[in-house]
Amino acid sequence: MVQINIITKHAKQANEITALLYSRKLIVNEYILKEVVGRLPNDQNELTNVDEVLIVGTTKALLFNTIVSTLKEKYPDNLPVVYAVPIVYMEESQTEALKANTAKV
């Protein structure tokens, strides 16, 4: 299991992404954190604040590549940042719910 993190610049895109991934049973426990501030270099190579939106959810590790492919297909020119962090421990009933509510691999 992994915690998937998707960073986008727009709340509308975040809502589209969670709806898409949920409809295909690729992610569970979707959370959208709208007031996230990223720090990125500007033209003068100084860090500046950038408003971003963070999607956090859980899924099976083997679904990660499917999620990335789905997002590349939907957003070929505006792909959000996508990465996953391994979940080392998860409560047993939550693990079973994740397995039952995500796509079969």
Residue range 39-69, pLDDT digits in tens: 989 999 999 999 999 999 999 999 999 999 9
**pTM for the model:** 0.91
Q: Give the sheet arrangement for strand 28-41, strand by strand.
A: 28-41, 47-59, 2-8, 81-86
Task: Assess whether pLDDT exceeds 90 at residue 35.
Answer: no
Q: Which residues contact 72 (CB under 8 A, 6 or more apart)?
A: 79
Domain spans in the chain, listed from the N-terminal domain onward:
2-101
Band of residue 105 on the pLDDT scale cut at 50, 70, 90:
confident
Domain spanning 2-101: which CATH class is it, in words? alpha beta
Residue range 16-27, pLDDT digits in tens: 999 999 999 999
Mean pLDDT of the chain: 95
